[in-house]
Amino acid sequence: MQFRRLGNSGLKVSEMGLGTNAFGKRADQDTSIRIVHHAIEQGINFIDTANIYAQTESERIIGLALEGRRHEVVLATKAGLVRGKGPNERGSSRYHLQRELEDSLRRLKTDYVDLYQIHTFDPDTPLEETLRTLDDMVRAGKVRYIGASNYAAWELMKALGISDRLGLNRFVSTQTSYSLADRTPEQELVPMCLDQGVGIIPYFPLAGGILTGKYGSADAAPEGSRAATDPSFSRFIAEDKLALARAVGSMAEQAGCTPSALSLAWLLQQPVVSTVIVGATRVEQLTDNLQSLSVTLEPQQWQALDELSRPYRYGEPFAVYRLP
């Protein structure tokens, strides 16, 4: 396993990280704990979760999995999306973030988070309030580094400018949908992050599983897949994405690897990417994805993959999560 700096920070993270959105939902507690332990044994040190995943079950399960092993990982969680019906149960106000951090620490069975991420931009809270709150958390020792998620390029740049002006801790990373099926970050976010030293952590690196080739159509979701357990996911399964998946599958066959490995290897070649988080509902699935770390293609093969996915630099993002 190779390690990369998280943005311009001194923190080193494994080039492949573990996403845990499925823990407590599509993967039960025992399976999830086995996945965490297997990930650590394979050299993965970056584990990403959020306070809303599986209605907080993901954090609770990770807390159990890391008992006695907390020091072995870089643990990341998030807050900011809707947690309840109350007016202060969402967003990135000081009121909401401080309460959510304490709750996350309790569930994770730890007294600090390595990377605390704002899950989405909050138009109702001044950025100064959010950034001062995060800075206070770092100074209190409860948070080591801070990151963003689902921020537009101008929102992230504004936040960095405020941090620089006020002498506050800066965002070192941002999470965004980024894959062969969604290259829209390359228009503005990627060049901005390269310029400002912010690392990108792609989510949906396999377009929610579409790029694995397991979906034949939107109406025939495999058992246990995201579309089978979350019917709303079917809105992402469009014919053009299925055609892209078939083309990637053909290229992967010629390259002697799986479509997943090829898709993840392409992302890992992007200089702005600090770590690629992959989810898993089975240990075997994680093992398969780790194959991407050994994929070696000729320049002309990378060029063909670039041309194949170039249309996805434009149009709407594959996914983006914002406050309602």
CATH number for the domain harbouring residue 172: 3.20.20.100
Residue 23 counted as domain residue:
yes
Place of tokens 């079950």: 57
| Residue 323 is assigned to a structural domain of this protein | no
Q: Judge whether 64 lies within some domain.
A: yes
First and final C-alpha spacing in the chain: 39
The total of other beta-carbon atoms located within 10 Å of residue 242's CB is 16
Residue 235: pLDDT band by 50, 70, 90 thresholds?
confident
Helix locations, 82-152, DSSP H: 94-108, 127-139
Number of domains the chain is built from? 1
Domain that holds residue 135: 3-313
The pLDDT score that the predictor gives to residue 219 is 57
pLDDT bucket at 118, cuts 50 / 70 / 90 = very high
Instruction: Determine the Cα–Cα distance for residues 76 and 119; give it in Å rounded to an integer.
Output: 11
Average pLDDT over every residue of 184-197? 98
* 203 noted as active-site residue: no
Give tens-digit pLDDT for 256-303: 999 999 999 999 999 999 999 999 999 999 999 999 999 988 898 889
Residue pLDDT, tens place only, 38-95: 999 999 999 999 999 999 999 999 999 999 999 999 999 999 999 999 999 999 999 9
In the predicted structure, residue 16 carries a pLDDT above the cut 70: yes
Write down the mean pLDDT value for the chain.
94
Sign, Cα dihedral of 102, 40, 283, 227: positive
Closest CA to 244 of 199, 186, 181: 181
Report which of 150, 141, 196 is spatially closest to residue 174, judged by C-alpha positions: 150
**pLDDT-derived band of residue 212, with 50, 70 and 90 as boundaries?**
very high
Residue 300 is assigned to a structural domain of this protein:
yes
**Amino acid identity at 141:** G
Distance in angstroms (rounded) separating the CA atoms of residues 170 and 135: 9
Please check whether residue 318 lies inside any domain of the structure: no
Predicted local distance difference test score (pLDDT) of residue 229: 57
Query: Could you give the C-alpha distances from 148 to 38, 170, 172, 173, in angstroms and in order?
Result: 28, 10, 8, 6
Query: Pick the catalytic residue: 53, 145, 151, 215?
Result: 53
Residue 201 lies in a domain: yes
| C-alpha to C-alpha distance for 228 and 155, rounded to whole angstroms | 34
pLDDT at 301: 87
Give domain status of residue 208, yes or no.
yes
Confidence band of 230 (pLDDT split at 50, 70, 90): low
pLDDT of 175 strictly over 90: yes
Is residue 149 in a domain? Answer: yes
Question: 317, exposed or middle or buried, with CB in 10 Å at 0-12, 13-18, 19+?
Answer: middle
Confidence band of 214 (pLDDT split at 50, 70, 90): confident
**Rounded mean pLDDT of 189-211?**
97
- Please give the Cα distance from 267 to 205 (Å, whole number): 8
CB atoms within 10 A of CB 323: 17
The contacts found for 225-228 with CB under 8 angstroms, 24 or more apart, are 226/26
pLDDT at site 296: 86
Q: Name the DSSP class of 22.
A: T
Tell me the DSSP string of 260-300.
HHHHHHHHHT-TTBS-EEEE-SSHHHHHHHGGGGG----HH
Work out the average pLDDT over 180-198: 98
pLDDT attached to residue 236: 75
Lowest mean pLDDT among 213-227, 239-253, 283-297: 213-227
* Residue 261 to residues 59, 103, 234, Cα–Cα distance (Å): 27, 36, 23
The span from the CA of 313 to the CA of 324, in Å, is 26
